[in-house]
């Protein structure tokens, strides 16, 4: 019953948003809505010109970004219809929110959980610098040792090979490996865990914790992740691998250590080029603004070619290959992956060649279309017109020989998680008005006893 009324609320709010414009503003309000859309397009063009030019053109683009929204609001106010537009937008937001709340219930089920016994000799690596010092703030090392774990806290002033530390722990008899740190460190130790078929624990002590997010772990209190040592269940998730250079289809499986592991994603193109710069860590914004014009115009950097299960993607400016696809509409790859066990890579390619294409991409809300390619594949090969290319792997900057072959090992990683955890919050799917209408009408007939739900 609740779902039926949510669908009806969505439809009613959408209709009301249009009626408010027509009844209180007439044709003038519709014209002003068109002005609003034009303002969005001009703003997107301004962003494009700001990123692809320097000097006077960049200054003019910034002025355009400031002036256009102010001009649109001034036109609304002058016509006495600012309140009408704001009410209409509020109703439209309510319609979309209610509609997505209905559709989210159709999302695929959560990853299955498997029973897991308590480890006897768990081994954990902790990075005290990750996440602004969460290891110290939450006393993670002390709490883990109290649960019987062997803990190595990395020395911030001395680089250490975390994969080698994990391998040495396995030789001493460790029956579980874990990491409190960033996703890049998680990936290195996860590769060792897979090689020795050991369970792996993720402690959300990093800054962004994308992997922990999609596992349903508590990112606000990483200490709760330690409950996996005493009352845990096991998830079987996929693990990503990059094989650099050599044949695209090797005759024999790769030797351990010859492939680069990733738990989230590998990025190629603009982002990977920028993070390679030595100046990036000291001044991110300035470095991006200085490098982007040449990179987006493809006057610098390698020309990429991406081959997956579908057509070849030629000369994209940026490519994101992810361990399982991100939700549709999450074009930046910054949101959620509904599952980590589909056995498919997510592939996102971006090629924007003009201000018009940048505006179209914004107005489409990041949906697939001109300038954006979104697909899945079992394997992906990224080639280039250069012998080596920069690659961003789980936030770490690498340089790899071409071609770079991306693959998944389905269900290879045994992730131990707490039995009780916040869980994976289902993200909002793209709005589908036809489906919302069908649900509202079909469920209504079912409630009246006139048809199936």
223 pLDDT exceeds 60?
Answer: yes
CA distances from 236 to 41, 113, 326, 398, 406 (A): 44, 8, 18, 28, 20
Collapsing DSSP to helix, strand or coil, 53 comes out as coil
Least reliable range by pLDDT among 202-211, 247-256, 259-268, 344-353: 247-256
Residue showing tokens 């590998």: 266
Q: Would you state the pLDDT for residue 282?
A: 57
CB neighbourhood size of 203 (10 A): 28
Cα dihedral 163, 165, 166, 171 sign: positive
380 pLDDT exceeds 80?
Answer: yes
Residues 180/124, Cβ–Cβ less than 8 Å: yes
Residues 270/318, Cβ–Cβ less than 8 Å: yes
Question: CA–CA separation, 87 vs 22, rounded Å?
Answer: 12
Question: CA–CA separation, 75 vs 96, rounded Å?
Answer: 26
Q: Would you state the pLDDT for residue 159?
A: 86
Q: Would you state the pLDDT for residue 351?
A: 78
Q: Would you state the pLDDT for residue 447?
A: 46
pLDDT category at 100 given cuts 50, 70, 90 is confident
Q: Would you state the pLDDT for residue 448?
A: 44
Question: CA–CA separation, 91 vs 86, rounded Å?
Answer: 9
Q: Would you state the pLDDT for residue 111?
A: 85
Of 132 and 278, the one with more pLDDT? 132
Task: Kindly state the average pLDDT of the residues 253-270.
Answer: 78
Q: Would you state the pLDDT for residue 370?
A: 60
pLDDT category at 324 given cuts 50, 70, 90 is very high
Q: Would you state the pLDDT for residue 251?
A: 46
Q: What does the pLDDT look like over 56-90, one tens digit per residue?
A: 888 888 898 899 989 988 888 888 888 888 888 89
Closest-CA residue to 316 (of 261, 380, 362)? 380
DSSP notation for 265-316: EEEEEHHHHHHHSTTTTT-HHHHHHHHHHHHHTTSSSPPEEEESSSS-EES-
pLDDT category at 369 given cuts 50, 70, 90 is low
As given in the structure block, the two tokens for residue 86 are 């704001």
Q: What is the pTM of this model?
A: 0.76
Pairing of strands 176-180, 200-203: parallel
**125-134, 282-291, 327-336: which is most confident:** 125-134
Least reliable range by pLDDT among 32-46, 84-98, 263-277, 427-441: 427-441
Q: Would you state the pLDDT for residue 175?
A: 96
Residue 323: phi, psi to the nearest 5?
-75, 95
Q: What does the pLDDT look like over 157-170, one tens digit per residue?
A: 888 999 999 999 99
Q: Would you state the pLDDT for residue 272?
A: 78
Question: CA–CA separation, 211 vs 235, rounded Å?
Answer: 13
Least reliable range by pLDDT among 93-102, 291-300, 301-310, 442-451: 442-451
Task: Kindly state the average pLDDT of the residues 46-61.
Answer: 82
pLDDT > 70: percent of the chain? 80
Least reliable range by pLDDT among 88-97, 143-152, 178-187: 88-97
């Amino acid at each position: 019953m609740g779902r039926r009324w949510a669908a009806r609320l969505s439809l009613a709010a959408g209709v009301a948003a249009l009626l408010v414009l027509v009844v209180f503003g007439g044709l003038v309000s519709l014209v002003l809505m068109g002005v609003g859309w034009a303002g969005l397009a001009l703003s997107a063009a301004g962003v494009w010109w700001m990123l692809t030019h320097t000097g006077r053109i960049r200054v003019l683009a910034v002025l355009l970004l400031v002036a256009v929204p102010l001009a649109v609001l001034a036109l609304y106010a002058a016509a006495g219809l600012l309140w009408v537009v704001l009410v209409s937008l509020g109703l439209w937001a309510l319609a979309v929110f209610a509609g997505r709340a209905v559709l989210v219930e159709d999302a695929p089920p959560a990853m299955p959980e498997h029973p897991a016994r308590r480890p006897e000799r768990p081994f954990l690596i902790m990075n005290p610098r990750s996440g602004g010092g969460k290891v110290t703030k939450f006393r993670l090392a002390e709490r883990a040792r109290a649960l019987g774990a062997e803990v190595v806290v990395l020395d911030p002033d001395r680089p250490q090979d975390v994969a080698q530390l994990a391998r040495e722990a396995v030789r001493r008899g460790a029956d579980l490996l874990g990491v409190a740190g960033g996703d890049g460190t998680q990936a290195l130790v996860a590769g060792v865990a897979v090689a020795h078929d050991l369970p792996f624990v993720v402690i959300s002590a990093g800054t962004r914790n994308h992997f922990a997010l999609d596992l349903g772990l508590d990112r606000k209190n990483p200490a709760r992740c330690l409950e996996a040592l005493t009352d845990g269940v096991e998830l079987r998730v996929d693990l990503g691998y990059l094989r650099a250079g050599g044949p695209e289809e090797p005759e024999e499986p790769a030797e351990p250590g010859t492939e680069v592991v990733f738990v989230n994603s590998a990025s190629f193109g603009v982002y990977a080029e920028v993070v390679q710069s030595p100046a990036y860590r000291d001044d991110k914004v300035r470095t991006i603004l200085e490098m982007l014009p040449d990179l987006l115009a493809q006057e610098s950097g390698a020309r990429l070619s991406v081959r997956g299960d579908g057509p070849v993607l030629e000369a994209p400016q940026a490519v994101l290959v992810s361990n399982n696809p991100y939700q549709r509409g999450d074009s930046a790859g910054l949101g959620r992956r509904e599952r980590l066990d589909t056995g498919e890579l997510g592939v996102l390619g971006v090629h924007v060649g003009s201000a018009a294409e940048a505006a179209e991409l914004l107005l489409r809300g990041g949906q697939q279309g001109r300038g954006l390619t979104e697909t899945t594949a079992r394997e992906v090969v990224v080639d280039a017109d250069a012998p080596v290319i920069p690659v961003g792997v789980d936030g770490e900057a690498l340089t790899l020989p071409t071609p770079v072959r991306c693959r998944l090992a389905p269900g290879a990683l045994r992730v131990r998680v707490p039995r009780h955890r916040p869980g994976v919050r289902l993200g909002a799917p793209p709005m589908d008005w036809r489906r919302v209408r069908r649900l509202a009408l079909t469920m209504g007939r079912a409630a009246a006893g006139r048809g199936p739900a």
